[in-house]
Amino acid sequence: MTAQRLKIGCAGLGRMGKRHALNFLERTPRAELVAASSPDPVELEWAKTHLEPFGVRLYQNYDDMLKHEGLVAVVVASATAVHAEQAIKAIEADKHVLCEKPISTSVEVSQSVIDAAAKKPHLKVMCGFSRRFDKSYRDAYQKMQSGAIGTASVLRSQTCDKLDPSGFFVAYAEFSGGIFVDCSIHDIDLTLWFFGDDCKVKSVSAVGITAVEPDLRKHNDRDNAVGLVEFYDGRMAFFYASRMMAAGQEDVTEIIGTKGKLAVNTQPALNHVNIYDESGLRREIPQTYYDRFEYAFVTEANEFSAACLDNTALPIDLNNAVKAVRIGAALQESMITQKKIFFDEDGNRSELARL
């Protein structure tokens, strides 16, 4: 008897969509990539070479893909602007959904996905925060949970991309939601994970600069930004995001407790090779986010498939996706307005806290 496999379709075949498609095609034994869609002719040409020969049906229209016979689940890896719309359509078509982060750059639109999922509780709907599937972060979380550093009190985390001189980030900023929603969303989600889903934000404040891309300002964005989040229980989180790292991708997190500290990736390395040459001793570091978290994405695909097939709990609460966007959007607003933003204990904006 052949073991059951999750028949899944991939929406979007851009940089991230290609990775998801190939992971489900080649590296997820319990899944079967049966369909893929993209409105982009260039992306479909790629798919004709890399997906179609392996039995994957290609669609130019996402709605048509949802009608693919036997389709059970969808990974939404298209442009951020259509994440929510495509996720909701998949839910309404009774499909499980793995959606790339963020669900939307808008809190209200993100909530609409939560509301749609609530009407179909038998479906598995997950926002893919990749760092939760990384071995190092999982090890740090388990150590924290075991009491290795006492009470976690401060989290300091950064997402720093390698400098792209092509101007990609300027064009992308029009749709990304800004550096905090796009970059720091990972660090925000880590904070919700390590501090607990029930942690309550008291205030956020942020500053930013355009060190290498002044044109980002026309989209109310910056290429370097720092954010501070205070919680009602006294803990705090500090975020740094950058688009201009010279050496490569630098994603670092420190969880500081009352009895010690856990640090993840403070000395980035592409592998275990050290280079000894006329410049001294050095090592290469990952050049892209995917270089660093490739295997986390594979783990994500496999665990999502298992949850759908076995009807087990997902490793991430979908509500956290909205919380992360709410915090990221508030940080972006604080950076632009240069004002500290306060929240009451129910998560609503509060003017009284300014008094």
pLDDT of amino acid 141: 98
Domain boundary among 89, 105, 127: 127
pLDDT tens sequence across 218-235: 999 999 999 999 999 999
In a domain, 21, yes or no: yes
Q: Look at residues 127, 152, 181 and tell me which one is the last residue of a structural domain.
A: 127
- Residue range 157-172, pLDDT digits in tens: 999 999 999 988 898 8
Are residue 258 and residue 119 in the same domain, yes or no? Answer: no
Q: Answer whether residue 3 shows pLDDT above 80.
A: no
Contact 102, 40 (CB under 8 A): no
pLDDT band at 197 (very low <50, low <70, confident <90, very high): confident
| 246 and 336 together in one domain | yes
pLDDT at 174: 87
User: Do 214 and 120 sit in the same domain of this protein?
Assistant: no
Residues 87 and 153 placed together within one structural domain of the fold:
no
Looking at the structure, tell me whether residues 119 and 147 fall in a common domain: no
**pLDDT for position 351:** 75
313 within domain boundaries: no
The CATH number given to whatever domain includes residue 171 is 3.30.360.10
Among candidate residues 127, 160, 179, the one where a domain is terminated: 127
Both 122 and 164 in a single domain? Answer: no
CATH code (residue 70): 3.40.50.720
pLDDT(1) > 50: no
Within a domain: 60: yes
Give the total number of structural domains in the chain: 2
Average pLDDT over residues 113-122: 98
pLDDT score recorded for residue 355: 44
Please tell me whether residues 122 and 141 are part of one structural domain: no
Whether residues 98 and 190 fall in one domain: no
pLDDT of residue 308: 98
> Stretch 143-156: mean pLDDT, rounded?
98
Answer whether residue 76 is part of any domain: yes
pLDDT at 172: 83
pLDDT at 2 exceeding the cut of 60: no
**Does a structural domain hold residue 303?**
no
CA distance 215 to 338: 19
Q: Is residue 260 part of a domain?
A: yes
pLDDT given at position 171: 87
Mean pLDDT (the chain) is: 95
Query: Is residue 299 assigned to a domain?
Result: no
The answer to whether position 308 is within a domain reads no
The verdict on 266 and 330 lying in the same domain is yes
Same-domain check for residues 50 and 93: yes
Task: Render pLDDT for 250-306 as a digit per residue (tens, 0 to 9).
Answer: 999 999 999 999 999 999 999 999 999 999 999 999 999 999 999 999 999 999 999
pLDDT digits (tens, 9 = 90+) for 18-60: 999 999 999 999 999 999 999 999 999 999 999 999 999 999 9
Pair (190, 329) in one structural domain: yes
Taking the complete model, does pTM exceed 0.75, yes or no? yes
Q: Are residues 114 and 140 in the same domain?
A: no
Query: Containing domain of residue 234, as a range?
Result: 134-294+323-350
pLDDT at 344: 95
Q: What is the pLDDT of residue 352?
A: 56
